[in-house]
A and B are shown apart, each in its own frame.
Chain A
């Protein structure tokens, strides 16, 4: 099992460009999550999906959209990137609800110039 995979590992964007971060899990988990981690801020939840076909906002959803394409895949889209979105983005999954253990992907390091 690969667990949770994320692509790309690194990305540099110019302000205003768009991109989609991809995440997939092979553990047959129901819930998936997107976080960002900034120095001194800890991990903050952007969006989550409790099941296929549903998505909900987390703590910092502004500037992002998500798609739960199927049970395996949960993508995060930046429509018009801003320097404030420079961060490390982690995808995670859990078997059931958020009260259960989460398994994280290796992260995507994004720099917006």
Chain B
């Protein structure tokens, strides 16, 4: 099993719809979790951190399930500007490969 796995997509979703992505991780000692957004030919930018209690930022909700070792991202009322690749990031201290990026999930919002 790969350390961090994401469905590569693409997800083609009509504007205004709700879309959800999952990301699974293999190391139960992982300590912190993030969702980054990457636009085409641009650098990744933090979308939100993921906390054990779950967190919400406007139309975006992130959840962490430690028992099943996955994190999720929910986007409500999707906008055309949400079209991007969403990267799951898992950090685990005290390892050479301690920062693991998923390969990303591509999202296309359709007008």
Contact = CB atoms under 8 A, between A and B. Distances in A.
B45 A104 contact: yes
Interface string B67-86: 00000000000000000000
Given A42-B87, A59-B97, 11 more contacts: A40-B103, A41-B103, A56-B96, A58-B96, A59-B96, A90-B43, A98-B93, A99-B32, A104-B43, A105-B43, A106-B43
Contacts of B96: 56-59
Given A33-B99, A42-B87, A58-B99, A102 B32 contact: no
Interface residues of A, number: 25
Contact of A101 (B42, B46, B101): B46
A42 B102 contact: yes
Nearest to A3: B43
B97 A45 contact: yes
Interface of A: 33, 35, 40-45, 48, 56-59, 90, 97-107
B49 interface: yes
Contacts of B102: 42
Given A98-B91, A99-B32, A45 B99 contact: yes
A33 B44 CA distance: 13
Contacts of B91: 98-99
A98 B33 CA distance: 11
Contacts of A48: 99
A11 B103 CA distance: 25
A95 B97 CA distance: 19
A98 B91 CA distance: 7
Contact of A43 (B31, B46, B49, B87): B87
B94 to A, nearest CB: 11
A43 B34 CA distance: 14
